[in-house]
Amino acid sequence: MYFNSIRFLQVFPESDTPSFDFLMACEDAKESLLSELRDHYRVNGNKDIRRRNMCSGTASPAETNTLEQNEVKCPLAPECIFEKPRFNFKYVVMLLAVYLGGGTLCFFFIRHQIKGKRTNGILDAIYFSVVTMTTVGYGDLVPDSILAKLFACIYVFTGMALAGIVLSEAADYIVQKQQILVVRAIYMGEKLGPNEVLKEVETHKVKYKLIMVGGLLLVLIMVGTLFLFIVEELNLMDAFYCVCSTITTLGYGDESFSTRGGRVFAIFWILSSTICLAQFFLYVAELYTAERQRAMMKRVLSRELTFSDLEAADLDGDKVVRAAEFVIYKLKEMGKIDQEDVSIVMESFKRCDADQSGTLTESDLMKSQPS
């Protein structure tokens, strides 16, 4: 059902400017880009429901034919374009459990090759794994043989690789959230004005998540300080100093957890506090990025077009800016694409265009499928 919507696509040449045929073909499309957006908000509630069914893959053939006959071609909702962003905590927790379990087992077998103040074999192995993985490294337990030192080196580098995976997940999370933010603003742009769009975007929950995690971090700092003050019998300043050096993974080593109860507490507290601090900075970065994105959207949604914009967007020099020219100009202006991106996409288009007609049809796709 989507083939009629993409028949207007024409092949770009390998130059910076799309071909004239492509730009003329865009005029043959029954609905322009902006009119498609307006159509989305003009249709009645039943058609909105049918479109949601199409997005979820549950639309019936009759509903599909009705939409095609009425020539209603609406853009997909932002939720259809991108998957719901989420930080994959289950994946991270699974890796963390495997990593800590393996480290604990290995350090337990070589516990006699680790010097320092010991309490319990299994407890010390878990504690040593945690302070190594989080790079706190107090120095109260240290490897004392070639085998133990070699394994500690391998373990800490593996831990850094795990941290890299977590950071990659976090970066993907931020980028995807901002992509949805931009698409949602464009999606609402024809229905709402710039102020309403920005107001809608302001309902984003980053600030609340930041406040929540910040509050939890303060609680963990206070709990850790009080525990060191009461159980480990450090003075209040030394306890706070040890907490700060621990959650920031400095781990100077002059103050640490030395009792059995203290190390049981440390296993859970070090993990939760260091992860909470990392999550706090993740939300700080997300909030900063979101604010910049909102500022960019405010400029894009409120700025009036000028004659210089029209001149720059008129790629074929015919004094008329078509929808395709305008889209390409805006995407390049925003830094979303460059000519290399266009060339890569068009190579994929050419591979699908089996009859080299410059348009995609059902027969093209059938011919391009591997036999």
Residue of 197, 178, 170, 176 lying closest to 91 (CA atoms) = 170
CA dihedral 171, 175, 180, 182 (to 10 degrees): 150
Q: Count of domains in the chain?
A: 2
More confident residue, 244 or 325: 244
pLDDT, position 89 = 66
60 and 161, same domain (yes or no)? no
SS3 labels along 10-27:
CCCCCCCCCCHHHHHHHH
45 and 112, same domain (yes or no)? no
Q: pLDDT (tens digit, 9 = 90+) per residue, 285-344? A: 888 887 777 777 677 667 778 888 888 888 778 888 888 888 877 777 766 788 788 788
Q: Is residue 321 part of a domain?
A: no
Round the average pLDDT of the chain to a whole number and report it: 72
170 and 282, same domain (yes or no)? yes
Evaluate if pTM is beyond 0.95.
no
Strand segments, DSSP code E, in the chain are: 114-116, 141-143
User: Taking residues 208-230, what's their average pLDDT?
Assistant: 92
CA distance 295 to 195: 12
- Backbone φ and ψ for 68, nearest 5 degrees, come out as -70, -40
pLDDT, position 312 = 82
Which among 301, 332, 352 is the end of a domain?
A: 301
Residue ranges making up the domain that contains 251 = 89-301
Which among 252, 273, 301 is the end of a domain?
A: 301
Tokens 């080299």 locate to: 356
CA distance 325 to 23: 7
Sign of CA pseudo-dihedral 352, 72, 74, 338: positive
Residue 3 and residue 360 in contact, taking contact as beta carbons nearer than 8 Å: yes
Residue 73 and residue 31 in contact, taking contact as beta carbons nearer than 8 Å: yes
Q: What is the domain-level CATH number for residue 228?
A: 1.10.287.70
Angle (CA) 178 271 113, round 5°: 135
Does residue 108 carry a pLDDT above 50?
yes
Residue 50 and residue 66 in contact, taking contact as beta carbons nearer than 8 Å: yes
Residue 281 and residue 171 in contact, taking contact as beta carbons nearer than 8 Å: no
Q: Is residue 155 part of a domain?
A: yes
Q: Is residue 49 part of a domain?
A: yes
Which among 301, 324, 357 is the end of a domain?
A: 301
